[in-house]
Chain A
Amino acid sequence: MKFSYNWICELVEGVNTGARELGQLITMKTAECEGVEPFGEHLAHVCAARVLEVTDIPGSHNKKVVVDAGQHGKKTVVCGAPNCREGMITAYAPPGVKLARGEIRRMEVAGVLSDGMLASGAELDINRDAEGVLEFAAEPGDPIPGCAPDSIIEIDNKSITHRPDLWGHHGLAREVAAILGLRLKNPVNTARLPEGAGDVLVSIEDFDLCPRYSALTFDNVTVQPSPLWLQYRLHSIDLHPINNIVDVTNFVMAEITEPMHAFDRDTLKGDTIYARPARAGEFITALNQETYKLEESMVVIADARGPVAIGGVIGGLDTGIVDRTRRIVLEAANFKAASIRKTSTRLKLRTDASMRFEKAQDPTNTVRGLARAVELFEQASPGLRLVGGVADAMRPIPPPPEIALDLQWLARKLGRNVDPKQVLEILERLEFEVREEASKWLVAKVPSWRATRDISIKDDLVEEVGRMIGYDAIPPRPPLIPSTVPPANEERLFHRGVRAAIAAQGFTEVYNYSFVNEEMARRFGMDPAAHVAVTNPIADDQDLLRISLAPRVWKNIQDNSRHFDSFRLFEIGYEIHRKADGLPDEADHLVAAIYERDGDGRAGLFELKRVGECLMPGLEAAPVEARPFEHPARAYQIRWRGETVGRLYEMHPSMGEGRAAMLDVNLQRVRGLGAAPKRYQPLRKFPASAFDLSVVAGVRELAGEVEKKLRALAGESLETIEFVRQYTGPPLAEGTQSLSFRLTVYAPDHTLTAEEVSGIRARIIDGMRASGYDLRV
């Protein structure tokens, strides 16, 4: 929201705080000021000038113009505006003045030295009219009336979401008055409202949706441009001047936060205005030329024929103000905030009116809006007449809440004492009606413009007092709390351990989006339909939630392979799996990857296996059927403590260049299996003996399986079994390999004799041979 500093100064008596400083104060006490920018600075140097002489310049569409520019004297300028004519008063900008389009220089145009320039409203940033030079009434040398340099204070909309009153200048002026301790002026004089029955009747069908609708009819209206000051003011806060009638409604909205609408009375059918829910199948073409299909949840304003406006959002095109309009009905209404917000969301149409109504506007404000408009119309449309009194349909406005405030409670909330007098003063400056009840109690009656939603409980008053004394005035203080050990978060601790271990092994941690898309899912052999879908994705390629970290990690690998020939990276994140009902399952996973542009890829796979063993000592790899993106001969399941907890594989070469080994571990499951309980084993008392065995097996036979068989045969006397080497080649037969292991055997109660050791060895050899293995002994 943009606010004019000059406008605020007109509403507060005696402001002598500059715009920038005021912006700071507003930020610290009321709402976030996003910036303060000068506006119309050049207007200090632009003045009125009378056109004395206009002569053609041969061969140019421009004219040579002589003007009387007051203190600047007579000036010759070149001007191409069609409306430039002798006798008119227009705006003269001398050389050196900086306009939006650049600095004005004394220069030769079509052979004539142009000493300054005559400017249009658009060039001067007074309005958007670029058709011709500005035309107004003034004496040469005067400033342009009502168009002084200003500053625009921009307030973050989000920070005034809860404050219906701050969507207009008077509301912000009230804050400024309270901050600076100055008096607020009231721009509205309701005594201006005519008595008597209204010219139109108002019928509200649903007071919940439309608690109040006030209307006033005017005739003898002349539709014309507004006075320059009015145009300038609207233009400075980004409201486009349109015509005097519409401009006045916008001005009132920007001043006292009451959105208004004017209908052309002669295009309204019948004498009754209805505020009612839309009927199914109704349409309206709005002022923005768009046609909207209305729904029964929306409020429309209708005449005898049908909808003439979408209540609180936008007016209809057919009943809008046009040049020939002579009679108008001015509407000032109040609508249910939630309904307006819903309508505006459904129609994807946010207007200056809907933005305000959805914040829950003050229903007492409708007639104030009409009163302010009456006054402004007198200036903007001379000769206009009131017809009848105010037609005002409403349900009783609930009395503003009274909130009892215990000052001791307030002090406990703030964490410091506040002088009761100061509390009283702060609340009164913000126009609460406050009375003292007993010594430590105040009762505050909430002003109507803050009673709609903003303030309803005593906690809200803590904020009013806190922000006005300034939060910097509250000294920080540690609380007195019992010294207890907080319960540990096992998951976080586990993740920390995993992260530290993996990073120590040379892996760099990446973070990836939780989103994937259909193509990514399909490439990794996952059914897009198995994913939770985003109904309003930010981009088409991010419309599913990941059920695997692999696709994004794979993208990291491809991205980084442009810069590095070899790297290691990992991610810990959540897979999100859809459930039949209830929230999806979120399982924390680790994906670690090693990329090598060259090489045969074996080293990477084994390194990842070792990394896995750091987390899960004694893990086992078991071959598994490869998925389409996996190397068919290099896909293994990771099993630990009897459960499948992950997967170790190489990416299929069709996925991209180089070798990428991937380890994917379900950390949730690993954590669930728990750390192995540790128990001390007494050191062995008698020496052990070791011997080697070389088993000849098929080349695709798994060393792990052979080892298991040896282990089983060795039985209780086995202390350790260690893999020594694998060998293929002569004298071994084609298609076989030799796997050598070193077995260490012992007995707990004596030293094994040579006979015992060879007995064990022979038992194992016999056992293996019985299972069909040859042994090289």
Chain B
Amino acid sequence: MSEEQLNELSSRALQRIEAASTEEELETVRVEALGRKGALAQASRQMGALAPEERARIGKLLNAVKQSLESSLERRKAAFAEKALRERLESEWVDLTLPAPGIRPGSLHPVTQVQAELEDLFISLGFTVLGGPEVETERNNFDALNIPPEHPARDMQDTFWLEGGYVLRTHTSPVQVRGMERLGPPLRMIAPGRVFRNEEVDASHEHTFYQIEGMMVDRDVSIAHLLYFMKTLISAIFHRDVTVRLRPGYFPFVEPGFELDIHCLICGGKGCPVCKYNGWVELLPCGLVHPNVLRMSGIDPEEWNGFAFGLGLTRLVMMRYGIDDIRLLMSGDLRFLRQF
């Protein structure tokens, strides 16, 4: 094969490589030019017939043509692969603004959530969490809390009475009695739970609501200690500055007794149904445990004393989330509950 013929072959093959529109066409060119039976292979076989210096020259040229064709093929092949990848990727476009399939998580009742927070807080302060039954004995709900049968304080809590003389507990305080009798002094306990009052239901009254009872019995427990826990509690609950006031309050199971009020967070103290239009919300009745209560649960009040508090958990939840109608909490209405 002459030099001209080789150059001719090379330029024709290069043209075809450039002109190939599919990978298959490219492969055909490769086989015809570079294959075992291809044009260059034939040329190479014919080399033996050439004079030695001619052979060297043609051999060199042959190699150059081969390299040039191979690199062109490689380049074109890569281009085809790249194009194919581009097309695949392009075709794989997804619209992630579409909603993800599958179930969304549900939600826990707001009372559950706040209760859990408070339980954790008190556990971290060394309090144990106790439970007690919704149906209580008259003794645990009243007598053992220094509220004998004819005590006018019984009127303070409209009671649901049950057959057999039992009551639906009107407060979580009977768990104090259970706690003292079970654990003995010293003790630190809280008792969250459902309580009942025989009251007509409206935007600010429910016959079923939640409280958290708290109690500490030890030696020389003081009002200053009670105040410390109440303050810790309030700041942990609201994560913000809340105006509070502590004033005398009467509860037969504490002496002295207090009411801790917070500035209404719904209306900012201006007055609304939740605060009964006076700007303050009673949140925490509390006090030092009455010696009679300790005595009735078998604890010597000369040796031990303590404090107790009853946090209005439901009220607190309303304050926390700005809920202005207490009935929603027991409504089972998912339009409401899914917000938490």
CA distance A492 to B175 in the complex (A): 15
CB-defined contacts of B198 to chain A, threshold 8 Å: 536, 538
Contact: B255 with A459, CB < 8 Å? yes
Say yes or no: is B220 at the interface (Cβ < 8 Å to chain A): yes
Say yes or no: is B106 at the interface (Cβ < 8 Å to chain A): yes
CA distance A471 to B288 in the complex (A): 13
Contact: B136 with A536, CB < 8 Å? no
CB-defined contacts of A496 to chain B, threshold 8 Å: 116
Contact: B218 with A477, CB < 8 Å? no
Given A413-B288, A508-B334: A27 and B247 within 8 A (CB)? yes
CB-defined contacts of B137 to chain A, threshold 8 Å: 583
Contact: B228 with A476, CB < 8 Å? yes
Mask of B249-286 contacts with A, CB within 8 angstroms, 1/0: 11010011111000000000000000000100000000
Binds B, one of A130-138, A209-217, A461-469, A714-722: A461-469
CA distance A765 to B51 in the complex (A): 82
A730: shortest Cβ distance to chain B, in Å? Answer: 34
Say yes or no: is A564 at the interface (Cβ < 8 Å to chain B): yes
Say yes or no: is B304 at the interface (Cβ < 8 Å to chain A): no
Contact: A161 with B153, CB < 8 Å? yes
Say yes or no: is A746 at the interface (Cβ < 8 Å to chain B): no
Contact: B225 with A533, CB < 8 Å? no
Q: In the complex, which residue of chain A has the Cβ closest to the Cβ of B107? A: A508
CA distance A511 to B109 in the complex (A): 7
Say yes or no: is B223 at the interface (Cβ < 8 Å to chain A): yes
Contact: B135 with A474, CB < 8 Å? no
Say yes or no: is B142 at the interface (Cβ < 8 Å to chain A): no
CB-defined contacts of B123 to chain A, threshold 8 Å: 486
Say yes or no: is B333 at the interface (Cβ < 8 Å to chain A): yes
Contact: B163 with A479, CB < 8 Å? no
Contact: A583 with B135, CB < 8 Å? yes
Of residues 559 through 575 on chain A, the ones whose CB sits less than 8 Å from some CB of chain B are 559-560, 563-564, 567-570, 574
Q: In the complex, which residue of chain A has the Cβ closest to the Cβ of B123? A: A486
Binds B, one of A336-344, A516-524, A736-744: A336-344
Of residues 46 through 78 on chain B, the ones whose CB sits less than 8 Å from some CB of chain A are none
CA distance A340 to B2 in the complex (A): 137
CB-defined contacts of B131 to chain A, threshold 8 Å: 489, 491-492
Say yes or no: is A487 at the interface (Cβ < 8 Å to chain B): yes
Contact: A514 with B218, CB < 8 Å? no
Which of A478, A479, A484, A503 has its CB near the most chain B CB atoms (within 10 A)? A479
Contact: B278 with A34, CB < 8 Å? yes
B121: shortest Cβ distance to chain A, in Å? Answer: 12
CA distance A564 to B333 in the complex (A): 11
Of residues 399 through 423 on chain A, the ones whose CB sits less than 8 Å from some CB of chain B are 412-416
Which of A359, A459, A487, A552 has its CB near the most chain B CB atoms (within 10 A)? A459
Say yes or no: is A475 at the interface (Cβ < 8 Å to chain B): yes
CB-defined contacts of A222 to chain B, threshold 8 Å: none
Which of A28, A508, A537, A586 has its CB near the most chain B CB atoms (within 10 A)? A508
Say yes or no: is A191 at the interface (Cβ < 8 Å to chain B): no
Contact: A512 with B135, CB < 8 Å? no
Contact: A457 with B291, CB < 8 Å? yes
Instruction: Identify which of A34, A414, A467, A510 contacts B222 (C-beta below 8 A).
Output: A414
Say yes or no: is A712 at the interface (Cβ < 8 Å to chain B): no
CB-defined contacts of A160 to chain B, threshold 8 Å: 250
Given A158-B156, A503-B107, A511-B330: A586 and B224 within 8 A (CB)? no
Mostly helix, strand, loop or mixed at chain B's interface?
A: mixed
Mostly helix, strand, loop or mixed at chain A's interface?
A: mixed
Contact: B225 with A477, CB < 8 Å? yes
Mask of A321-340 contacts with B, CB within 8 angstroms, 1/0: 00000000000000001110
Given A412-B220, A560-B333: A545 and B128 within 8 A (CB)? no
Say yes or no: is B86 at the interface (Cβ < 8 Å to chain A): no
Contact: A534 with B245, CB < 8 Å? no
Q: In the complex, which residue of chain B has the Cβ closest to the Cβ of A28? A: B247
CA distance A533 to B162 in the complex (A): 6
B334: shortest Cβ distance to chain A, in Å? Answer: 5
Contact: B221 with A479, CB < 8 Å? yes
Contact: A514 with B333, CB < 8 Å? no
A179: shortest Cβ distance to chain B, in Å? Answer: 12
Say yes or no: is A689 at the interface (Cβ < 8 Å to chain B): no
Say yes or no: is B188 at the interface (Cβ < 8 Å to chain A): yes
Q: In the complex, which residue of chain A has the Cβ closest to the Cβ of B249? A: A159
Mask of A632-657 contacts with B, CB within 8 angstroms, 1/0: 00000000000000000000000000
CA distance A161 to B250 in the complex (A): 8
Given A413-B223, A459-B290, A462-B288: A513 and B150 within 8 A (CB)? no
Say yes or no: is B134 at the interface (Cβ < 8 Å to chain A): yes
Instruction: Identify which of A471, A486, A514 contacts B194 (C-beta below 8 A).
Output: A514
CB-defined contacts of B152 to chain A, threshold 8 Å: 161, 337, 341, 358-359
CB-defined contacts of B316 to chain A, threshold 8 Å: none
CB-defined contacts of A31 to chain B, threshold 8 Å: 248, 250
B108: shortest Cβ distance to chain A, in Å? Answer: 5
Of residues 189 through 233 on chain B, the ones whose CB sits less than 8 Å from some CB of chain A are 194, 196, 198-201, 207-208, 216, 218, 220-225, 227-228, 230-231
Say yes or no: is A502 at the interface (Cβ < 8 Å to chain B): yes
Contact: B332 with A576, CB < 8 Å? no
Contact: A505 with B106, CB < 8 Å? yes
Say yes or no: is B298 at the interface (Cβ < 8 Å to chain A): no
Q: In the complex, which residue of chain A has the Cβ closest to the Cβ of B307? A: A479
Say yes or no: is A504 at the interface (Cβ < 8 Å to chain B): yes
Instruction: Identify which of A506, A513, A555 contacts B106 (C-beta below 8 A).
Output: A506
CA distance A476 to B244 in the complex (A): 13
Contact: A486 with B126, CB < 8 Å? yes
Q: In the complex, which residue of chain B has the Cβ closest to the Cβ of A514? A: B134
CA distance A567 to B130 in the complex (A): 34
Q: In the complex, which residue of chain B has the Cβ closest to the Cβ of A484? A: B126
B229: shortest Cβ distance to chain A, in Å? Answer: 8
Say yes or no: is A481 at the interface (Cβ < 8 Å to chain B): yes
Given A489-B129, A508-B107, A535-B163: A415 and B225 within 8 A (CB)? yes
Which of B104, B156, B164, B247 has its CB near the most chain A CB atoms (within 10 A)? B247
B292: shortest Cβ distance to chain A, in Å? Answer: 9
Q: In the complex, which residue of chain B has the Cβ closest to the Cβ of A584? A: B135
Q: In the complex, which residue of chain B has the Cβ closest to the Cβ of A478? A: B228
CB-defined contacts of A462 to chain B, threshold 8 Å: 223, 255-256, 288
Q: In the complex, which residue of chain A has the Cβ closest to the Cβ of B166? A: A583
CB-defined contacts of A486 to chain B, threshold 8 Å: 123, 126-129, 188
Q: In the complex, which residue of chain A has the Cβ closest to the Cβ of B115? A: A492
Say yes or no: is B240 at the interface (Cβ < 8 Å to chain A): no
Q: A163-B250, A463-B255, A506-B105 are in contact. List 20 more A-B contacts (CB 8 A).
A: A32-B249, A161-B156, A338-B151, A359-B152, A413-B223, A457-B291, A460-B256, A476-B228, A486-B129, A496-B116, A500-B108, A509-B107, A512-B330, A532-B164, A532-B166, A536-B159, A538-B207, A569-B334, A583-B166, A584-B166
Can you list 7 residue pairs at the A/B interface with Cβ under 8 Å?
A457-B291, A467-B248, A478-B225, A508-B106, A534-B161, A584-B135, A586-B133
B: residues with CB less than 8 A from A are: 103-109, 111-112, 116, 119, 123, 126-131, 133-137, 149-153, 155-156, 159-164, 166, 168, 186, 188, 194, 196, 198-201, 207-208, 216, 218, 220-225, 227-228, 230-231, 245-250, 252, 255-259, 278, 288, 290-291, 305, 329-335, 337-338
A: residues with CB less than 8 A from B are: 27-32, 34-35, 158-163, 337-339, 341-342, 358-359, 412-416, 457, 459-460, 462-463, 466-467, 471-472, 474-479, 481, 483-489, 491-492, 496, 499-500, 502-514, 532-538, 545, 552-553, 555-556, 559-560, 563-564, 567-570, 574, 576, 583-584, 586
Question: Which 6 residue pairs are nearest across A and B when measured between Cβ atoms?
Answer: A415-B224, A338-B150, A463-B256, A415-B222, A556-B332, A506-B103
